[in-house]
Amino acid sequence: MKKSPHVSATPATDWLKAHGIAFTEHPYDYVEHGGTAESSKQLGVDEHAVVKTLVMQDDKAEPLVVLMHGDRTVSLKELARQIPCKKVEPCKPEVAQRHSGYLVGGTSPFGLRKAMPIYVQQSILVLPRICINGGRRGFLVGLDPQVLTQALGARPVDCASPQ
């Protein structure tokens, strides 16, 4: 990973600092609909280690967050079975923004506006290091994936599907 210039604070970086969590900053040029493929290419990291933060909702329209490998998709049926509920679906962008406090494309699981259950694809936890959104479009933070369960309280699930 390249060493990058300092980026101004976000609710996510404020949360990480407040919890004493070490992280590295990785700004890149945001490309609309570029997703993790674009950020991993620009930063020179494996897309599998770039974690996307997805705001979803259950059958009662209650929001939840799913953390998934950049090169995988969420099996909604499998996620619903594991958490358990009848069904899970992605939130509309404006609803996701209202729940998280972040613009879509800049959603971080840290410093969310509203407390929501967070689920993490369990295979993310065995990676040596991950990059995840730092609370702004075009900005990832690098950290130990154990932070997701130990500090954030994310619950491991196995709901990955190939892209």
Residue 3 pLDDT class (50, 70, 90 cuts): very low
Cα–Cα distances in angstroms (integers) from residue 44 to residues 2, 5, 32, 39, 81, in the given order: 8, 16, 19, 8, 35
pLDDT digits (tens, 9 = 90+) for 54-85: 999 999 999 999 999 999 999 999 999 999 99
Question: Rounded distance, CA 160 to CA 98, Å?
Answer: 26
Q: What is the mean pLDDT of the chain?
A: 94
Contact between residue 124 and residue 71 where contact means Cβ atoms under 8 Å apart: no
Question: Rounded distance, CA 86 to CA 18, Å?
Answer: 36
Contact between residue 34 and residue 47 where contact means Cβ atoms under 8 Å apart: no
